[in-house]
């Protein structure tokens, strides 16, 4: 596919890298020549220096032959204008705009319809939704959902005293009587697709797939917190905080926000009537202790500085047993951050690129199955994808045990006629099934890619 990316910031760079690896023809556009040069020097992509919201620059970038334009500049208005011009200038070009402001969020369906956008992506709202999910299920580090929330993939860490330590994957079902599937295990820098003989150790990071109610029972049986948190202390009052407070309020969770900008504090207090807004600097430990950080069930660090967020989360971890969530904007040092043991870390930039990459892969799907949802379970190593079986094919011709699936492929769950099935070897896929697959074969576009 011919793809134009307008904006060479962090998200634009990630998109250029991931979409280029998937054999697309990429052209990046940015008004900042140094940014364009940085991307074109690192990746095999074309670059155009100029304002992507002008017809002349988009013409130079090849809008006439483009299949997709993705606008991810720092301005919502510029992104929308880029897409509007692209729709007028491109013969077959679809458009995606990043729109971040809460002021525009309520207008997103209208903007999408009136401007003919293929997608409106809001990274702040996506980050807030991810945080809200883990606060409702605090034992999980991360929760990804499939089939509109009917199936969940939950990632959690084994403490030293976990009853799972020393147990094999095969023994979980028999011992705990829970209909779930262990998908992956991370141990240090190694990542494994689960096999029946794999034996768990302390500090392993495990992902399971199950119905929400089954996951709740499972965590209760292994003595993890399964109920939503009752109260949350949030450091930072930006757009993610605004969206998160709205989501938590609907769940009946008490929220206190610490925001150092007095004007922003007043705005939050006026727009979020049920939230306790404190005008102070969260980096001041005295302020945190006055707000009882050691007693709250969750602490979420959402300031604009990664360094502050990391320090605040480490402090919270030292004085509290509550759930800790940390927002990180820079994605260059994620391998270092993983070793800090910060509990749940949320990367809004990655969420944006993941949504867009998922859409691009769905655009190139073949007949027979359609890609619906895609997540990186272990970054750069393992993905989980949801497909819908739309036609008879080699995938529906025989039971799973007889299909010639590639090594490193796990058919993890099937949603059929309102029921969630954890499939066994004797089960057979049918037309209409939603199928969740976990695999270390990256770049899937279609379920047929799973066959040898």
pLDDT at residue 397, rounded to an integer: 87
Strand runs (DSSP E) across 42-150, as ranges? 46-49, 68-71, 94-98, 119-121, 142-146
Are the C-beta atoms of 223 and 163 separated by less than 8 Å?
A: yes
Query: 279-315: per-residue pLDDT in tens?
Result: 999 999 999 999 999 999 999 999 999 999 999 999 9
Is 206 in the same domain as 262? no
Is 42 in the same domain as 62? yes
Query: 229-267: per-residue pLDDT in tens?
Result: 999 999 999 999 999 999 999 989 999 999 999 999 999
Is 111 in the same domain as 148? no
Query: Angle of helix 239-250 relative to helix 262-271, nearest 10 degrees?
Result: 30
Quick check: is 136 in a domain? Answer: no
Quick check: is 398 in a domain? Answer: yes
Mean pLDDT of the chain: 89
| Domain span holding position 215 | 143-221
Query: 327-371: per-residue pLDDT in tens?
Result: 998 766 666 777 787 889 998 888 888 888 878 877 765 444 567
DSSP string, 194-231: --TT-B--TT-EEEEEE-HHHHHHHHHHTT---SPPSE
Quick check: is 164 in a domain? Answer: yes
CATH number, domain with residue 341: 3.40.50.720
Q: What angle do CA 149, 152, 156 make, to 5 degrees?
A: 140
pLDDT at 199 over 70: yes
Predicted TM-score (pTM) of this structure: 0.85
d(CA 232, CA 134): 12
Is 55 in the same domain as 116? yes
pLDDT at residue 377, rounded to an integer: 86
> What is the average pLDDT across 169-187?
88
> What is the average pLDDT across 395-409?
89
pLDDT at residue 335, rounded to an integer: 67
Place of tokens 């208005």: 77
Comparison of pLDDT for 442 and 429, the residue scoring more: 429
Residue finishing a domain among 169, 193, 221: 221
d(CA 80, CA 71): 8
Is 249 in the same domain as 202? no
Query: Count of domains in the chain?
Result: 4
Is 149 in the same domain as 246? no
Quick check: is 324 in a domain? Answer: yes
Quick check: is 313 in a domain? Answer: yes
- CA end-to-end span of the chain, whole Å? 25
Residue finishing a domain among 195, 221, 247: 221
Quick check: is 323 in a domain? Answer: yes
pLDDT at residue 368, rounded to an integer: 47
Is 210 in the same domain as 280? no
Is 210 in the same domain as 288? no
Quick check: is 51 in a domain? Answer: yes
Is 331 in the same domain as 369? no
> What is the average pLDDT across 48-66?
94
pLDDT at 5 over 90: yes
Beta bridge partners of 407: none
Can you read off the two tokens belonging to residue 156? 């959690």
Query: 141-158: per-residue pLDDT in tens?
Result: 999 888 888 999 999 999
CATH number, domain with residue 212: 3.30.70.1450
Is 171 in the same domain as 247? no
DSSP string, 17-62: HHHHHTT-EEEEEES-HHHHHHHHHHSS-EEEES-TTSHHHHHHHT
Quick check: is 186 in a domain? Answer: yes
Phi-psi category of 435—alpha, beta or left, where left has phi over 0 and alpha has psi -120 to 50? beta
């Amino acid at each position: 596919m011919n793809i134009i990316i307008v904006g060479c910031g962090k998200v634009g760079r990630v998109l250029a890298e991931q979409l280029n690896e998937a054999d697309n023809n990429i052209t990046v556009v940015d008004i900042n020549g140094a940014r364009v040069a940085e991307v074109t020097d690192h990746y095999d992509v074309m670059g155009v220096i100029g304002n992507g919201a002008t017809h002349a620059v988009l013409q130079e970038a090849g809008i006439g032959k483009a299949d997709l334009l993705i606008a991810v500049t720092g301005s919502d208005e510029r992104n929308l204008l880029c897409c509007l011009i692209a729709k007028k200038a491109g013969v077959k070009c679809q458009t995606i705009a990043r729109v971040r402001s809460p002021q525009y969020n309520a207008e997103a369906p209208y903007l999408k319809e009136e401007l003919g956008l293929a997608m409106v992506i809001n990274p702040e709202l996506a980050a807030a939704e991810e945080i809200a999910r883990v606060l409702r299920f605090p034992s999980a580090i991360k929760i990804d959902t499939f089939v509109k929330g009917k199936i969940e993939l939950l990632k959690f860490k084994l403490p030293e005293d976990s009853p799972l330590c020393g147990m094999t994957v095969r023994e979980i079902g028999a011992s705990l009587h829970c209909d779930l599937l262990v998908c992956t295990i991370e141990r240090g820098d190694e990542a494994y697709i689960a096999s029946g003989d794999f034996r768990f150790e302390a500090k392993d990071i495990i992902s399971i797939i199950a119905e929400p109610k089954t996951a709740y029972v499972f965590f209760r049986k292994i003595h993890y917190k399964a109920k939503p948190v009752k109260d949350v202390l949030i450091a930072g009052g930006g757009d993610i905080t605004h969206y998160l407070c709205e989501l938590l309020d609907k769940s009946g969770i008490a929220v206190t926000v610490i925001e150092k900008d007095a004007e922003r504090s007043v705005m939050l207090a006026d727009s979020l009537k049920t939230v306790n807004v404190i005008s102070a600097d969260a980096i001041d430990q005295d302020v945190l202790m006055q707000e009882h950080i050691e007693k709250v069930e969750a602490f979420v660090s959402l300031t604009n500085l990664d360094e502050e967020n990391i320090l605040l989360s480490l402090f919270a971890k030292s004085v509290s047993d509550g759930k800790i969530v940390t927002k990180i904007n820079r994605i260059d040092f994620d391998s270092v951050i993983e070793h800090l043991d910060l509990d749940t870390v949320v990367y809004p930039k990655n969420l944006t690129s993941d949504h867009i990459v998922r859409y691009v892969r769905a655009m190139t799907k073949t007949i027979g199955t359609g890609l619906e949802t895609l997540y990186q379970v272990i970054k750069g190593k393992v993905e989980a994808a949801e497909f819908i079986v739309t036609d008879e094919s080699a995938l529906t011709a025989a039971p799973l045990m007889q299909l010639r699936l590639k090594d490193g492929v796990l058919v993890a769950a099937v949603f059929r006629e309102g029921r969630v099935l954890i499939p066994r070897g004797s089960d057979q896929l049918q037309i209409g099934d939603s199928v969740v697959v976990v695999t270390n074969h990256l770049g899937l576009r279609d379920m047929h890619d799973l066959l040898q």
